[in-house]
A and B are shown apart, each in its own frame.
Chain A
Amino acid sequence: MGAPTESKRSMWLWILQRVSGAALIVLLLIHMVVLHYMDPHDAIVISEVKIRLQGLTFMIINNLLLGFVIFHAFNGVRNVVYDYTSDPRKRAAVSAVLVIIAIFLFAFAVWAFLPFMLG
Chain B
Amino acid sequence: MLKQSGFGYYVRKIARTWKETGTLAHIVHRVTGILLVVYLMVHIYVVTQASLNGEGYESILKTFRDPLFAAGELIMIMGGLVHGLNGIRLTLFDMGIGLKHQKAMFWAFMVIAVAIWFVGLAIVWPVIGGG
Contacts and interface: CB of A to CB of B under 8 A. Distances in A.
Interface of A: 18, 21-22, 24-25, 28, 32, 36-37, 40-46, 49, 69-70, 73-74, 76-77, 80, 84, 105, 108-109, 112-116
16 contacts: A37-B124, A40-B126, A41-B127, A41-B131, A43-B61, A44-B61, A69-B40, A76-B33, A76-B37, A80-B34, A84-B7, A108-B48, A109-B44, A112-B52, A113-B48, A115-B51
B67 interface: no
Nearest to A42: B131
Contact of B51 (A43, A69, A76, A113): A113
Contacts of A37: 123-124
A80 B32 CA distance: 12
Contacts, number: 70
Contacts of B57: 46
Contacts of A112: 48, 51-52
Which secondary structure dominates chain A's binding surface? helix
Interface of B: 7, 10, 30, 33-34, 36-37, 40-41, 44, 47-48, 50-52, 54, 57-58, 61-62, 65, 80, 84, 87-88, 91, 94, 120, 123-124, 126-127, 131
A96 to B, nearest CB: 18
A75 to B, nearest CB: 11
Contacts of B126: 40
Contact of A73 (B40, B47, B50, B87): B40
